[in-house]
Amino acid sequence: MPAGIDVERPSAARIYDYQLGGSHNFAVDRQVGEQMLALHPEVPRMAQANRAFLRRAVQYLVDAGVRQFLDVGSGIPTVGHVHEIAQRSAPESRVVYVDVDPVAVAHSRQILAGNARTAAVQEDVRHPEQILDAAEVRDLLDLDQPVGVLAVALFHFVPEADDPAGILARLTAPLAPGSALVLSHATEDEQPHADEAKEIYRRSGIDLTLRSREQVTALFGDFDLVEPGVVWVPQWRPESADDLYCDQPEASAGYAGVGRTR
């Protein structure tokens, strides 16, 4: 654990790790996770559905020829994360993970040790220029070639006051034609426990901003949406009718989509 970490302050990255069944979290993160579980027992399955979308979206981009990925708000890249998905099909793929949580970044660097085509950067998504100027990004990614920018389960932690659409526009402005934006986002549409969930996170010092389908769609800006557009998470190109929540997509509590640049 990096020196100076406040183990009494929960982290969105580590809460998500706990919800996915990971072990890179502290008691304070598990406390928030348990409160969410008590509110809505489906929360772990929601996290799993979101992770399945990430896998499908990355595989789609690899199949489309994308070989570079910038995963912002990546959390902890445990089993089945971006580099494993991409490099399984295309070993030359390069991935830079970015997260604001120093514990997540420290664990990421341990996990990625020995993989020369990956790196981890500690930075806040609200500082897109610093992300793009990070040495690891400049060394690994060629912005003159297509890049897949991933913002999966991230922007519901960015309030309107921080201008999420502007952040994404600045982050993706230098990208070459053929680049992509992969986005998933929690919503309060058709969610009876939305207010209680926001309150649990608020008490933990984390601002949770749930957005409608129209608001999530607007975050894609000038990107051309790939079919089927912005849909419930399990509806984005499911692999099987038996996929998690395919029979009740709104139970995933989030929207997802992929956009491409011309």
pLDDT at position 3, please?
Answer: 62
Residue 18 lies in a domain: no
pLDDT tens string 170-199: 999 999 999 999 999 999 999 999 999 999
**Domain total of the chain:** 1
Residue 12 lies in a domain: no
User: What torsion, rounded to 10 degrees, do the Cα atoms 173, 175, 181, 185 define?
Assistant: -40
Residue 46 lies in a domain: no
pLDDT tens string 3-30: 667 778 888 888 988 888 888 788 999 9
Q: How far apart are the C-alpha atoms of 107 and 24, rounded to whole Å?
A: 8
Cis peptide, bond prior to residue 77, ω within 30 of zero: no
Q: How far apart are the C-alpha atoms of 74 and 94, rounded to whole Å?
A: 15
Segment 77-93 mean pLDDT: 89
Residue 240 lies in a domain: yes
**Rounded to a whole number, what is the largest CA-CA distance in the chain?**
47
Q: How far apart are the C-alpha atoms of 6 and 204, rounded to whole Å?
A: 13
**CA-wise closest residue to 187 among 24, 50, 11:** 50
Residue 232 lies in a domain: yes
Does residue 31 contact residue 3 with C-beta atoms inside 8 Å?
A: no
Residue 198 lies in a domain: no
Average pLDDT, the chain: 94
CATH classification of the domain holding 237? 3.40.50.150
Residue 158 lies in a domain: yes
Whole-prediction pTM value?
0.93
CA 12 to chain centre: 11
Please report, for the chain, how many H helices and E strands are present, in that order: 10, 8
Residue 23 lies in a domain: no
Segment 79-107 mean pLDDT: 92
Q: Is 170 left (phi over 0), alpha (psi -120 to 50) or beta?
A: alpha
At 120 the three-state DSSP class reads: strand
Q: Which domain holds residue 136?
A: 53-193+209-260
Q: How far apart are the C-alpha atoms of 82 and 110, rounded to whole Å?
A: 16
| pLDDT band at 79; cut points 50, 70, 90 | low
